Structure 1
Amino acid sequence: MPADSQDTLDLPADPGATPLALQWIESLAERHGWPPRAAFGLTLSLDEALTNVLSYAFDPPGTADTPAITVSCRADDRRIELALRDNGRPYDPTAGDPPPLVACLDEAEPGGHGVRLMRHYLDTLAYRREDGWNCLTMAMNIQP
């Protein structure tokens, strides 16, 4: 892996964004030789976060500013950091606790479980609102 590298991907605000983003992150993992657990955890986390953005961040087409989504990756030999940015309505997925675990699937309520998975794999999950953009940082420390 290079000493420090950064890649950026602009995504459409439509269902086609998810497969594009997942192909992108998988190609980065392969190119930089990320450990399998890191590649899996970051791919899963990006999928969860992007699904939330696409499902809830934007008004119907033609009712607001043009939706925009960008994901960037900065990596070195010790840490991989993804930054997912969108200009949708403010939402902090890190606020509050995930719903409690249940004994069976019939008792499970939708929502919040993706954040639990992200917290399991990531070392950092942080949100900020900056100049009209949601900024979600997802990072994982890796062993050299």
Structure 2
Amino acid sequence: MNVSDRFDTQLTVHAPDIGGLVDSLDIFFAAHGLPHALLQSFAMAFDEVVSNIAAYGSAQQPIRIHVTVAADEVWAQVIDDGVAFDPLQLADPDVTSGVEDRAIGGLGVFLVKKMMDEVAYERREPYNCLSFAKRIAPARN
């Protein structure tokens, strides 16, 4: 059986099925022998990014998801047709104060930046393209 190194799907912007996305990614990651902890990192990142697009973005077309497995990393891209917005320009939230003293917002993007090894944004008119990647630890013999 030849397992594709690429996973592509689309989610409706108005009610994205993140649970279905994670279920599909679980199958894709398992087919590549990737650790469950890596799936959990990507599931959290997709949940944050896609939820933000659905809740705050102005996208009209489906949100496109691409995931590629390479020899040393898993790379993902989320593409939407909303107004230009680079979430990486947001200031990191205050994570030292008590919960009741913190400003609302920004924690999801902060977590994605902390969990992933690389995160990048690019505007390719008329699309927002957010990419993130995590290196795969070499298997121990």
Identical amino acids, percent of aligned pairs: 21
Q: Which runs of 5+ in 2 are unaligned?
A: none
Shift of 1:9: 0.3
1:86 partnered with 2:80: yes
1:95 partnered with 2:89: yes
Alignment of 1:39-118 (within 5 A): 39-58=39-58, 66-118=60-112
Q: Distance in 1 between matches of 2:57 and 2:97?
A: 31
Aligned alpha-carbon RMSD (Å):
1.9
Q: Normalised by the size of structure 2, how large is the TM-score? A: 0.87
Give the partner amino acid of 1:143. A
Shift of 1:99: 1.5
The total of aligned residue pairs comes to: 137
User: Helix, strand or coil for the counterpart of 2:77?
Assistant: strand
**Kept after mapping to 1: 8 A contact 2:77/2:129:** yes
Identify the range of structure 1 (81-90 vs 4-13) with the bigger mean alpha-carbon deviation.
4-13
Q: Normalised by the size of structure 1, how large is the TM-score? A: 0.85
Give the partner amino acid of 1:118. V
Identify the range of structure 1 (25-34 vs 5-14) with the bigger mean alpha-carbon deviation.
25-34
Shift of 1:3: 9.2
Q: Equivalent residue for 1:33?
A: 33
Q: Equivalent residue for 2:122?
A: 128
1:8 partnered with 2:8: yes
Q: Distance in 2 between matches of 1:119 and 1:20?
A: 24
User: Helix, strand or coil for the counterpart of 2:112?
Assistant: helix
Alignment of 1:14-25 (within 5 A): 14-25=14-25
Q: Distance in 1 between matches of 2:3 and 2:27?
A: 18
Q: Which runs of 5+ in 1 are unaligned?
A: 60-65
Provide Cα deviations, 1:74-93, integer angstroms capped at 9, x if missing partner.
10231000100011111111
User: Helix, strand or coil for the counterpart of 2:27?
Assistant: helix
Provide Cα deviations, 1:71-120, integer angstroms capped at 9, x if missing partner.
01010231000100011111111113211113322122221101111111
